[in-house]
Chains A and B, each alone.
Chain A
Amino acid sequence: MNESLIQNGNIIEVKDPTPFQESLHNLKQNRAAVAGLVIIALFLLVGIFAPLLSPRSPYAQIIADRTLPPFSPGYLLGTDDLGRDMLSRLMYGARISMVIGVVSVGIAMGFGMLIGVTSGYIGGLYDKIVMRLIDIMLAFPYILLTIVIVAVLGPSLFNAMVAIGISQIPRYARLVRASVLAEKENDYVTAERSLGASPLSLMFVSILPNCLAPVSVQATLGVGEAILSSAALSFLGLGAQPPTPEWGLMIASSREFITNAWWIVTFPGLATLFAVLGFNLFGDGLRDILDPKLRD
């Protein structure tokens, strides 16, 4: 999709003008990524302004109005079996999902990058031990790892976020370590070192910023994964506890209503679907843009 030169009847790529201009150009071209960004923005807005936007409190139960279908007067998306307004619950759910994303990915990125940078830079026995631990973590299927960690911490939404964050650490660690190992050999590092730069400043100020490309892609996709994982943990009773309006929990508690109240099942799932879709779209688009640099 780049500029081309014709050779042997094939089209081969040729160097582009400025990388930044190119990226911007690509971003505008990549309609999927833009769509993803729009969805994310919408989701964030709803989450941040939920108290202002939602018609009612997500916890208010009006027994007289329970299990009302969508488009009932006053309840756009209907109510659940305890008479709580679906729309309000979904909006606060967006808020919660937002927090889940930030906390989980924050933990994973923070510790993951720390481990990756130090491991890659320092090397030696430290590196070997750390990587061995990371490998063991990766030997687990992801869901089981989160379950095990939550089992230790005790079932709650916050602990679920921590568990998800911890489970995602290995990816960032590996990614950053690989980048650091590649960058370590570069001339600018040797140059700065010869000028007397301290290892800390080298690690964090010089090398780390160069690793941001793959990390940002992983982080974007990671938010989507965190939301899905939290939903799974809630389903297993290990995450959010009732009456929290977390989307996964809402789906989990809706099982008995598949025959008579389809909206209680469908809407939280749709909300999850679109939120995660937004992050996946944008993450994919980001990856396409940063692709040449992502070739590890």
Chain B
Amino acid sequence: MQTTEKQTTDKQNSAETMIEIKGLSVNFNTQRGVVKAVRNLSFSIPNGKTLALVGESGCGKSVTAHSINQLLPMPPGEIVSGEIWFRGEDLLKKSEKEMQKIRGVKISMIFQEPMTSLNPVFSVGRQIADVFLTHHALSKAEAWERAVELLNLVKIPSPAKRAESYPHQLSGGMRQRAMIAMALASPDPGLMIADEPTTALDVTIQAQILDLMVSLQQRIGMSLLLITHDMGVVAETADHVVVMYAGRKVEEGDVFSLFREPSHPYTLGLMNSLPSNEKYRGASRLEAIPGTVPDLLSIGEGCPFMNRCRYATEICGKEFPDETRLSENHSAWCHNLSAVKESK
């Protein structure tokens, strides 16, 4: 396991790497037992690129995102092992005070529900200005001006007036833009983490927000970690993709390779259930992946996808597969890749 992981990361290190996650394992200690939310996860994001972390609800992608800037509620949550390397430092070894200097400064984050993610008793301008005040030495008036500028940057019409609005006075799309503006108030943007930023929005608005994020990212030159369960979003925005299932990484690669040759049975299932997929022309039903996510409390050492997998064999129940290199920028973790490939 060690050597193959190292190969992958070395490859990605040839470009400048913004952030590298190594062997992250996160548990939740609940009353009913220990939930293994993330197991031995590793990936890295190069400078200025977008990595999409895909999987269904509960697969651990959100937990991973929250682990990066230590926003996990730590009593039930516990980072069992792993390292997160960012600008030459291991984030997991940092204290809360040190993390406060990184959050909103070098790493910013936006969340899924803009309605509940903005403070209802302060105007949006005030909230953004507060971020400025925290990280820059500005006067209140200057901070407010910068806030209005940012609102303009995220394409909110009449930004000066809008800045005085309260969150519940704005539409969902505008709130999300305001959140992005808040995230952009960081003085030294390196990484932006977007946790399902468009899931709660109308489809029409989704595209706009995604466009906005991509254009901002390119303009500022930061890396973007995009958490989503929507393959359509992945296709539009990502440079690299990591597919997760039940806490583990099952496939990884650059976006073109992945879409051209999805290799892991789960990835296939995800692709196949896309409404935009060609094979649905004229068909009346979508293909869903049969079965349900396994109980993370009692999960064993084998491949977690086994109980839903058409190609499962005996070894799948016993141990988790090693990495199989499909090409330079594409790997999958499955015992039966050849069987999968043949039946496609």
Contacts and interface: CB of A to CB of B under 8 A. Distances in A.
A–B contact, 8 Å CB criterion (strictly below): yes
Interface of A: 1-11
A1 B296 CA distance: 18
A5 B293 CA distance: 12
B323 interface: no
B222 interface: no
A9 to B, nearest CB: 4
Contact of A9 (B31, B32, B72, B296): B72
A11 B58 contact: no
A2 B35 CA distance: 13
Nearest to A9: B66
B76 A11 contact: yes
A289 B182 CA distance: 41
Contacts of A5: 58
Contacts of A11: 28, 30, 73, 76
B30 A4 contact: yes
A7 B57 contact: yes
Interface of B: 28, 30-32, 35, 37, 57-58, 60, 62-63, 65-66, 71-73, 76, 111-112, 195-196, 296
A6 to B, nearest CB: 5
Contacts of B37: 6
B28 A3 contact: no
A6 B35 contact: yes
A215 B270 CA distance: 52
Interface of chain B, helix or strand or loop or mixed? loop
Given A3-B30, A4-B28, A4-B76, A9 B65 contact: yes
Contacts of A2: 31
Contacts of A9: 62-63, 65-66, 71-72, 195
Nearest to B33: A3
B4 to A, nearest CB: 28
A2 B30 CA distance: 8
A6 B58 contact: yes
Given A11-B73, A11-B76, A6 B31 contact: no
Given A8-B111, A8-B196, A9-B195, A3 B31 contact: yes
A4 B195 CA distance: 20
B63 A6 contact: yes
Contacts of B28: 4, 6, 11
Contact of B32 (A3, A7, A8, A10): A3
A2 B28 CA distance: 13
B56 to A, nearest CB: 11
Contacts of B32: 3-4
7 contacts: A3-B32, A4-B76, A6-B35, A6-B58, A6-B60, A6-B62, A11-B76
A-B pairs with lowest CB-CB distance, top 4: A9-B66, A9-B62, A8-B62, A3-B32
A6 B293 CA distance: 13
Nearest to A4: B30
Nearest to A25: B31
Contacts of B35: 4, 6
Nearest to A8: B62
A6 B295 CA distance: 11
A4 B73 CA distance: 13
A72 B214 CA distance: 86
Nearest to B64: A9
B121 to A, nearest CB: 22
Contact of A7 (B58, B65, B73): B58
Contacts of B31: 1-3
Most buried by B among A5, A9, A11: A9
Given A1-B31, A2-B31, A7 B76 contact: no
Contacts of B65: 9
Contacts of B62: 6-9
Contacts of B57: 7
Nearest to B32: A3
B54 to A, nearest CB: 15
Contacts of A10: 73
A1 B58 CA distance: 19
Given A8-B62, A9-B63, 11 more contacts: A2-B31, A3-B30, A6-B28, A6-B37, A6-B62, A6-B296, A7-B58, A8-B196, A9-B65, A9-B195, A11-B76
Nearest to B76: A11
A5 B66 CA distance: 15
Contacts of B60: 6
